[in-house]
């Protein structure tokens, strides 16, 4: 698999542009020490160390522009020529033309999947304002920066970008395959069986891709933190153990994701008694950072004593799908202060869990089709139409419950009703 990536750097300081080349193209420089020393001089003596990736490492094609307008024009020309830019490193303050935020916004309009790294010493915009404008895939590095930080972040984000594009192509390929099979076959039963198999495969691929993106970013940040602490001599046994623990927790989650999706097809785990609120809290902990960067607050109001008897991963998967659905609605409707509320309570012999948001609601004509396979209100590159379909299957087939959706005055509400006796060994498991 090729490890060649196209990168775009935009900065009005030619020295900084040279330093980016030095960091990402060390083999093309004969005086790396001079370039790094110049960066150190320009920014008050910050430590910048030489990067020497081995021959098996990535290859970066570094494209550069010294102002925002030229950068946007260059990005579009490369995009139209079939070259996908995985990462753009953009200075926030550029005196001529447009600033870094407007530059990033225009580039995102061309390719929403591109990763934006804001590199600046000073900014006229707050992090919340930037995240509210750019929405997704936005990262920050402060000048003066470490060469290792830039190199590792660019490499990690490039790998994530490559995986995202691959999964999008796969999803489009699956849709084409299903469409072709329907056209070729007149046998309804055979067609439905074929679709069911493809749907199960599509569920695993689409959701694994979605769930792994955030953990991969977390692992990148942990490694960068350890590297920086080691370089500056501030790495302690306590901080090392904490970082290692966080990394293993993240890896366990990624591993569990694979197992969970495999078991959707071939269930094999034994049921256990588990806390409803703690299971949802674990899901929220994984997505909390990305939601906060998008200006979204998650409120959880479920009594601690409520317990279920079954598979904890079912509730985690349901919560993840519905939270991501609410996030997409809030972002697509440009809601500046997004709110998602998760509530749970007993109503007679039913346990009722609701997840509602202030994302503007669902079009009335779409509500009756929400849980159908391959139905999506998003662009083809952003949604597979599998998430809510799979959620409905889990609720009905594994929890013996019902799920419905309706609009409130400010957004959408998904309601899950579970029979308390069907989901507990005894009534005391709930109280």
User: Which residue intervals of the chain bear CATH 1.10.287?
Assistant: 185-265
- Average pLDDT score, the chain: 78
Sequence-ordered list of residues with C-beta below 8 angstroms from that of 234, at least 6 positions apart, any chain: none
**Model confidence at 426: pLDDT above 50:** no
Domain 272-429 belongs to what topology? Heat Shock Protein 90 (3.30.565)
CB 140 within 8 A of CB 118: yes
pLDDT in tens, 164-213: 888 877 777 777 777 776 666 555 544 444 454 454 455 446 546 656 77
Q: Picking from 55-64, 98-107, 319-328, which range would have the lowest pLDDT averaged per residue? A: 55-64
Structure tokens at 67: 């102002």
Q: Shortest CA distance to 150 belongs to which of 86, 200, 224, 202?
A: 224
Helix-helix angle 32-42:14-24, to 10 degrees: 130
CB 206 within 8 A of CB 230: no
User: Which residue intervals of the chain bear CATH 3.30.565.10?
Assistant: 272-429
Sequence-ordered list of residues with C-beta below 8 angstroms from that of 410, at least 6 positions apart, any chain: 357, 358, 360, 361
Question: The whole model's pTM is what?
Answer: 0.43
Structural domain 4-146, CATH architecture: 3-Layer(aba) Sandwich (3.40)
Position 363 scores a pLDDT of 87
The rounded radius of gyration (Å) of the Cα atoms in the chain is 24
CATH match for 185-265 among 1.10.287, 2.20.28, 1.25.40, 1.20.1300? 1.10.287
Position 284 scores a pLDDT of 83
User: Which residue intervals of the chain bear CATH 3.40.50.2300?
Assistant: 4-146
- Greater model confidence, 130 or 196: 130
First to last CA, the chain: 54
Residues in the chain: 431
């Amino acid at each position: 698999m090729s490890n060649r990536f196209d990168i775009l750097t935009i900065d009005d300081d030619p020295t900084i542009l040279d330093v980016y080349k030095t960091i990402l193209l060390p083999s093309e420089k004969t005086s790396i020490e001079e370039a790094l020393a110049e960066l150190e001089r320009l920014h008050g003596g910050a430590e910048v160390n030489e990067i020497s990736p081995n021959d098996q490492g990535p290859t970066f094609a570094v494209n550069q522009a010294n102002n925002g307008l030229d950068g946007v024009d260059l990005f579009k020309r490369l995009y139209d020529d079939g070259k996908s830019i995985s990462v753009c490193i953009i200075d926030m303050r550029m005196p001529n033309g447009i600033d870094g935020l407007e530059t990033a916004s225009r580039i995102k309009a061309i390719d929403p999947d591109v990763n934006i790294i804001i590199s600046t010493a000073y900014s006229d915009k707050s992090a919340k304002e930037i995240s509210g404008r750019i929405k997704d895939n936005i990262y920050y590095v402060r000048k003066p920066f470490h060469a290792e930080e830039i190199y590792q972040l660019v490499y990690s984000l490039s790998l994530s970008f490559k995986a995202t594009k691959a999964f999008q192509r796969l999803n489009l390929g699956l849709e084409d395959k299903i469409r072709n099979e329907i056209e070729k076959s007149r046998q309804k039963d055979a067609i439905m069986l074929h679709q069911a198999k493809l749907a199960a495969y599509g569920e695993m691929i689409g959701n694994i891709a979605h769930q792994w993106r955030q953990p991969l970013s977390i692992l990148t940040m942990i490694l960068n933190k350890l590297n920086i602490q080691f370089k500056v001599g501030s790495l302690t046994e306590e901080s090392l153990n904490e970082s290692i623990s966080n990394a293993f927790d993240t890896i366990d989650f990624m591993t569990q994701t694979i197992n969970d999706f495999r078991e959707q097809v071939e269930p094999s785990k034994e049921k256990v008694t588990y806390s409803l609120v703690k299971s949802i809290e674990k899901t929220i902990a994984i997505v909390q950072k990305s939601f906060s960067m998008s200006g979204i607050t998650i409120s959880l109001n479920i009594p601690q004593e409520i317990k279920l008897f079954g598979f904890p991963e079912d509730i985690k998967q349901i919560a993840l799908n519905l939270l991501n659905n609410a996030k997409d609605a809030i972002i697509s409707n440009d809601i500046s202060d997004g709110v998602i509320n998760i509530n749970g309570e007993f109503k007679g012999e039913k346990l009722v869990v609701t997840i509602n948001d202030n994302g503007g609601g669902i079009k009335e004509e779409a509500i009756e089709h929400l849980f159908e396979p391959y139905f999506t209100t998003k662009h083809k590159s952003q949604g597979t139409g599998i998430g809510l379909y799979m959620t409905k299957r889990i609720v009905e087939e594994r929890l013996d419950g019902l799920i419905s959706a309706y609009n409130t005055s400010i957004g959408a509400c998904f309601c899950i009703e579970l029979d308390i006796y069907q989901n507990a060994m005894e009534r005391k498991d709930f109280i």
